[in-house]
Chain A
Amino acid sequence: MTATTLQQTRAAERPGYRLRHAARMEWIKLRSLRSTTWILAAGVVVTIALGTVAGLNTSDPKSDVTSNVLSGVIFGQLLLGVLGVLVMSSEYSSGTIRATLAAIPRRPLVLTGKAVVFGTVALVAGEVATFGSFLAGTAALRSSVPRPSLSDPAVLRAVVMAGAYLALIALIGLGIGAIVRHSAPAVTTLVGGLFVLPLVIGAGSRTAGQFMPELIVGNSLAAVQPVEGFGLSPWLELGIVALYAVVLLGVGRALLVRRDA
């Protein structure tokens, strides 16, 4: 042995931790916060409650009943999106991010773990919310209004897509949280993007509406009857919302890697 062996630097090893470790950490973090459960439950309950009210208020037998009873999604998305923001921004406000990154220094894994775990939880919550809305909302319909059925493929598609939409908004929130890091401005960005932007741009141009998530869900994903100005297929529209989530998470991931914690 020569003296230089002492000075030798150890080669980089393959890290022992994998996505499943990052995911387990995120799962424990998610479950160990009461606020997560409360916001998720509130999102589901409010979506179903508004859908039920919409069912009660539906009188026109020719209207898109499925779309009506899923209209609670417009509010439910706010709660799921905000929860997505908080999943990331609360790590920064509390300082947990330092402990998290000390445990998983390969930072992309941290965000992927969060997206997988929280995205799955949000998808389950979203589908529970939309199927619940459909069942409660259609049960509340007056007898003069024809009751849509889940055995109708177009109806089933609308309910499933509206639930998936909620999960995508949750991931969009996560991405914004990773980019903006501070809760208040991140929530403002989310609300601005979801609700204010469609008012500003959607009012000026009808085709632009096909690219606004909030208008996409009401006029395409959750709709069974075609809506004027929304000529793209619901699948394509869902893809547009998914693309927003992917881009925001991608930018968030790049910033997470680059910035000091």
Chain B
Amino acid sequence: MIDARDLTKRYGATLAVDRLSFSVRPGAVTGFLGPNGSGKSTTMRMIMGLDAPDGGQARIGGRPYQQARWPLREAGALLEARAFHPGRTGRGHLRALAAANAVPGSRVEEVLGMVGLESAADRRAGTYSLGMAQRLGIAAALIGDPGVLLFDEPVNGLDPEGVRWIRQLMRRLAAEGRTVFMSSHLISEMAQTADRLIVIGAGHLLADTTVAELSARAGGNLEDAFFALTADSAQYRAATAEGGF
């Protein structure tokens, strides 16, 4: 369970997140949608206690992430494509994280298996392809077997097989009763993967609903419904000929 209450974040003159409140429930994949610069990554960093909110609070399982007893067993996050030292092996990276939260070494091998990285585990992570890097990031998120998972654009740059793998993994994690919160720009992917959606624009909540309900607003087309919803808040959308709204 993730709870955001009046989350607010300012970067200089930019109001990146503006009194944002929502809940992400367990047992479902909740998609996090919004145009570029709408505050998705910032929100996820605040949930993970990496950026301090200027107002409001985020809670994981009822308390701020920083107060977790064993943080990695509470929540795991994939926030950037390459959040590891290029000179360290994949296994070394995971072993370091495991040690920090007294996670047994056998779990390192387990998650390496889950993401299919066993054969590359002893290579320097700097040599990994984008897809392999993404898998290492997912393995790191899963290391503590947490009940809450955040993924910021997990399918970015993945080949079709990787995209399908992520989709199946998200569904499986949710089916196991975990809270899965993922952002993506690929709306068709969201339509296939997510049950629920949280849509933001310019740091504001625009919708907190189900995929089915939002698509129904535009006759079953999620993409059209998304554009209609975010029409006023997209800051970086190119002027298009066939705008339509």
Contact = CB atoms under 8 A, between A and B. Distances in A.
A4 interface: no
Contact of A102 (B67, B77, B89, B93): B77
A28 B95 CA distance: 7
A11 B62 CA distance: 8
Given A24-B100, A32-B96, A261 B50 contact: yes
Given A8-B62, A17-B101, A28-B95, 16 more contacts: A10-B63, A13-B68, A16-B69, A16-B70, A17-B70, A17-B102, A25-B100, A32-B92, A95-B80, A95-B84, A96-B93, A102-B50, A102-B76, A102-B77, A260-B52, A261-B45
A25 B99 contact: yes
B62 A29 contact: no
Interface string A79-109: 0000000000011001110111111111000
Contacts of B50: 98, 101-102, 260-261
A90 B95 CA distance: 18
Contacts of A74: none
B69 A21 contact: no
B110 interface: no
Interface of A: 8-17, 21-22, 24-29, 32-35, 90-91, 94-96, 98-106, 260-261
Contact of B140 (A25, A99, A104): A99
Contacts, number: 119
Interface of B: 45, 48-52, 59, 61-63, 65-72, 75-77, 79-80, 82-89, 92-93, 95-97, 99-102, 140
B42 to A, nearest CB: 9
A25 B63 contact: no
B67 A13 contact: yes
A25 B84 contact: no
Contacts of B85: 29, 33, 90-91, 94, 96
B82 A25 contact: no
A33 B69 contact: no
Given A17-B70, A28-B92, A99 B84 contact: yes
27 contacts: A9-B59, A9-B62, A17-B70, A21-B99, A21-B100, A21-B102, A25-B96, A28-B92, A28-B96, A28-B99, A29-B96, A32-B88, A32-B89, A33-B85, A33-B87, A34-B87, A91-B85, A94-B82, A95-B84, A98-B48, A98-B79, A98-B83, A100-B100, A103-B100, A105-B68, A260-B50, A261-B45
Contacts of B89: 32
Contacts of B140: 99
